[in-house]
Amino acid sequence: MDFRYLGNSGLKISEITYGNWLTHGSQVENEQAVRCVRAALDAGVSTFDTADVYANTAAETVLGGALASERRESLEIFTKVYFPTGPKGHNDTGLSRKHIRESIDASLTRLRTDYVDLYQAHRYDHETPLEETMQAFADVVRAGKALYIGVSEWDADQLRAGHALATDLGIQLISNQPQYSMLWRVIEEKVVPASEELGISQIVWSPVAQGILTGKYKPGQQPPEGSRATDEKGGADMIKRFMNDETLTAVAKLEPVAKDLGLSMAQLAIAWVLANDNVASAIIGASRPEQVTDNVKAAGVRLDADVLATIDDALGGIVERDPGKTVSPETRIV
Q: Phi and psi for 73 in degrees, rounded to 5?
A: -65, -15
Is the separation of the CB atoms in 300 and 2 below 8 Å? yes
Rounded CA separation 39/140 (Å): 32
Q: Which helix (H) or strand (E) holds 101?
A: helix 97-111
Compute the radius of gyration of the chain from its Cα atoms: 19
With residues binned 3-state (H G I as helix, E B as strand, rest as coil), the percentages for the chain, rounded to 5, are 45, 15, 40
Beta bridge partners of 330: none
Which amino acid makes up residue 106? A
Q: Which of 276, 260, 270 is nearest to 295 (CA)?
A: 270
| Residues forming the active site | 54
Give the DSSP letter string of 4-73. Answer: EE-SSSS-EEESEEEE-TTSBTTTB-HHHHHHHHHHHHHTT--EEE--TTGGGGHHHHHHHHHHTTS-GG
Residue 330 CB coordination number (10 Å): 8
Sign of CA dihedral 272, 278, 280, 283: negative
Cα angle value 294/210/256 (rounded, 5°): 55
